A and B are shown apart, each in its own frame.
Chain A
Amino acid sequence: MAHNLHRVAQMVGLASWLVLAAASTAWAEAPKPPKHTTTADHSKFKELDHKFDTGPEVTKACLACHTEAAKQIHKTQHWKWEFTNPDTQQVLGKKHVVNNFCTSVKSNEAACNSCHIGYGWKDDKFDFTVEENVDCLACHDATGKYKKPSGFAGNPVTRDTEFPPGSGKIVRGINLSEIAKKVGPTKRTTCGACHFNGGGGDGVKHGDLDSSLEAPNKELDVHMDVDGNNFSCATCHKTDGHQVPGSRYAPTAKDKDPAHLRGKAETTNPATCQACHGQAPHQEAKINNHTNKLACQTCHIPAYARGGQPTKMTWDWSTAGKMGPDGKPMTVKDEDGYDTYMTIKGNFTWKENVKPEYVWFNGTVHYTLMGDKIEKGDKPTQINRFEGSATDGKSMIWPVKIFRGKQVYDPVNKSLVITHLAGNDNTAFWKNLDWDKAVAAGMATSSAKYSGKLDFIETESAWPITHMVAPKEKAVGCVECHTSNGRLEKIDGIYMPGRGSDHARWLELGGWAMVILTLVGVTGHGLIRILTHKRTR
């Protein structure tokens, strides 16, 4: 009987499985109605239906309809690579700063400006007022085929070209017509083409931005999770007239405003966590208590470079120039295939899953610019310094990546220098490995003085960590900070329960002395009682 029942159950199970399987096949085969996410199909536009040989030709076609687009772009930081900090009045932006990766765009425009959203910026004579010089495709390519190779001053290559000339290496030409017909909104990959490759390669610079964010899972980023929220960059960095908010040159360190409301004029940075999550996003009051001192990122990004792509942590230019055993420039790789030494660049270290360092930050960043006095000493020179303190009322504790480098400087004028690295000429360091020529040529493009002497100096740059937000279960646990030598050990100016260095010494010593004396007292009293008890018996 039991056996029969079992068979019946099996057959019922099989039958229902078949029905379900059939149903699901039918479901899968049902044609999906086309999803019209846009009202314009660019492939039907006759303006785009011809062959484009250059970038500016495409832009001209775009501007025929999008008449004001270039005017908007011309006002942006993405176009100008220049930003005047309203607080410090420092003139910043890629056009001006010197960092401790490849140091400067200046004198290396043809190479670096493959990431400029324009065409043809190869030296300081670039005309920023020409509308056709705006590169629409860099951000709006939807095919993934649009490329701007380094060395072409931000121009795409449309015919197969040997580059560098005489090298035998061929850069394949791309079909701009096909790309122009398929333009669309920006995506993680379009932004990422430059922002994931800051510092000259995947994940090099930021640590919280690399190619793993092209299609991240929830573990890596709750917002960009392809199977979940699937945010694009612009979901948070919501543009207004092509202005992209959320620049790290003047970040919002402490957002005290409520969540943005649809329809209400937005006056604050839409890219902050609070712009969506508001001021009391946790269910537990005790956790909300932390939001007046801690940036959300401090707990919610337990580590950066979590997507499998390591980030560069150090770069020592001073060791550059050593040739390989064959007398030619060499590249040494670690077991994972990442460069740890290059003749043209020096030594690097890479790291994955890096715990950030933490600083008080009020949103103001001070840069060490060309001509600012720097001193070789015990402490590294700060390429940029995050201003902040426990007491200024404007600061929050922020996670940062500190990138440590050693780079050339002018020991006489005590200044950073411009190094001419890339180029197919006699002075470029990557061609001739001659620092004297490279710095002299670099400095010639700057108005700053150069003594002709050079030396190496240790430098540090700081990068705010704000992407790769982990699922809440993976947020930093209480005890990782509320302990001695925890993540926030070096954060001063606050009392943190559990952190030994905050304890009043008199109380620790006095308190335990009192407790021990009490124990000794009662033990002694008890012992005497036991002894006298026996004696009197």
Chain B
Amino acid sequence: MSRVYLFKPFERFWHWSQAALIITMLLTGFEVHGTYSLFGFAKAVGYHTIAAWTLVGLWIFAIFWHVATGEWRHYIPTTDKIIAIANYYSSGIFKHEPHPFKPSAINKHNPLQRLTYLAVLALLSPLIWVTGGLYLFYADWSALGLDFLKLEWVATGHTLGAFLMLAFLISHLYLATTGHKVYSQVMAMITGWEDLGHESK
């Protein structure tokens, strides 16, 4: 059995706090949207706003960390072995074939993960940030010269981001169970060590 140390303490902290904040914002955001009522509109707005600013703070640290440590390289997209990996998830996994990608400290994410995370970090997140920021500073649109904007567009963009984030969350939670054991990848994100199983002895 082989184990590999993948996630440093800051990464794990970033991951879990970000997870908690995003889940909070999905819960409160869809309440603000009018999908259901849970905390009450006023509280939902309050929690959503606090979580948003907390995430902004977290990201400032995370960006600094990624730049300072060079860890940003893990999100450089690649197509290497991408077909093999797609094949693995669509058929190989059912036949217990070995995973074509072996993570390591210098290459933590398989190419599909790289693409997905890059999309989440570089496309989806900015969509939510920008629309959310505009939402927060709605009163200052005139002062900022943004009068051409309509709250409807901003809200629609923000809601689109929320749906995409929710879909990502569902698939991410599921794919976390596809490691060597059902909990291997979750454990990796808790302890930093991932169990890769017997094959890679």
Interface residues of A (CB under 8 A from B): 285-286, 288-289, 292, 477-479, 482-484, 494-495, 497-500, 502-504, 507, 510-512, 514-515, 518-519, 521-522, 525-526, 528-529, 532-533, 536
Q: Contact partner of A514 among B34, B45, B167, CB < 8 A?
A: B167
Given contacts A495-B155, A498-B33, A514-B167, contact A482 B174 (CB under 8 A): no
Alpha-carbon separation in the docked complex, A525 to B159 (Å): 27
B33 and A529 form a contact (CB under 8 A):
no
A292: chain B residues within 8 A (beta carbon): 139
Q: How many residues of B contact A (CB 8 A)?
A: 35
Between-chain CB contacts (< 8 Å), 22 pairs: A477-B42, A478-B41, A479-B37, A479-B41, A482-B32, A482-B41, A484-B34, A495-B151, A497-B33, A497-B34, A498-B32, A503-B33, A504-B156, A507-B159, A507-B163, A511-B163, A515-B167, A518-B170, A522-B173, A522-B174, A525-B174, A529-B94
Alpha-carbon separation in the docked complex, A533 to B181 (Å): 12
Q: How far is the CB of B61 from chain A (nearest CB, A)?
A: 25
B151: chain A residues within 8 A (beta carbon): 494-495
Alpha-carbon separation in the docked complex, A526 to B42 (Å): 39
Alpha-carbon separation in the docked complex, A482 to B43 (Å): 13
B198 within 8 A of A: no
Most buried by A among B40, B41, B152: B41
A514 and B163 form a contact (CB under 8 A):
yes
A500 and B34 form a contact (CB under 8 A):
yes
Across the interface, name the chain A residue whose C-beta is closest to B152.
A495
Q: How far is the CB of A245 from chain B (nearest CB, A)?
A: 29
Q: Contact partner of A499 among B34, B42, B45, CB < 8 A?
A: B34
A498: chain B residues within 8 A (beta carbon): 32-34, 41
Across the interface, name the chain B residue whose C-beta is closest to A506.
B156
Q: How far is the CB of B66 from chain A (nearest CB, A)?
A: 28
A289 and B159 form a contact (CB under 8 A):
no
Alpha-carbon separation in the docked complex, A532 to B171 (Å): 20
Given contacts A478-B45, A479-B40, contact A522 B170 (CB under 8 A): yes
A483: chain B residues within 8 A (beta carbon): 34, 37, 41
Given contacts A478-B45, A504-B159, A528-B94, 18 further A-B contacts (CB under 8 A): A286-B49, A289-B139, A292-B139, A477-B42, A478-B41, A479-B41, A484-B34, A494-B151, A495-B152, A502-B152, A511-B163, A514-B163, A518-B171, A519-B170, A521-B171, A526-B174, A526-B177, A529-B94
A519: chain B residues within 8 A (beta carbon): 170
Among residues 169 to 192 in chain B, which have CB atoms less than 8 Å away from a CB atom of chain A? 170-171, 173-175, 177-178
Among residues 61 to 95 in chain B, which have CB atoms less than 8 Å away from a CB atom of chain A? 89, 93-95
B166 within 8 A of A: yes
Q: How far is the CB of A288 from chain B (nearest CB, A)?
A: 6
Chain B, 146-170, contact with A by CB distance < 8 Å: what is the 0/1 string? 0000111001100110111011001
Q: Contact partner of B45 among A286, A288, A521, CB < 8 A?
A: A286
A510: chain B residues within 8 A (beta carbon): 163
Q: Contact partner of A497 among B32, B163, B173, CB < 8 A?
A: B32
A497 and B42 form a contact (CB under 8 A):
no
Across the interface, name the chain A residue whose C-beta is closest to B155.
A495
Alpha-carbon separation in the docked complex, A525 to B91 (Å): 10
B167: chain A residues within 8 A (beta carbon): 514-515, 518
Q: Contact partner of B94 among A479, A503, A507, A532, CB < 8 A?
A: A532
B166: chain A residues within 8 A (beta carbon): 515
B138: chain A residues within 8 A (beta carbon): 289
A507 and B160 form a contact (CB under 8 A):
yes
Alpha-carbon separation in the docked complex, A477 to B37 (Å): 14
Alpha-carbon separation in the docked complex, A254 to B41 (Å): 27
Q: Closest 7 A-B residue pairs measured CB to CB?
A: A511-B163, A522-B174, A479-B41, A495-B152, A498-B34, A532-B94, A289-B139
B201 within 8 A of A: no
A497: chain B residues within 8 A (beta carbon): 32-34, 155
B170: chain A residues within 8 A (beta carbon): 515, 518-519, 522
Across the interface, name the chain B residue whose C-beta is closest to A500.
B34
A289: chain B residues within 8 A (beta carbon): 138-139
B139: chain A residues within 8 A (beta carbon): 285, 288-289, 292
Alpha-carbon separation in the docked complex, A437 to B42 (Å): 59
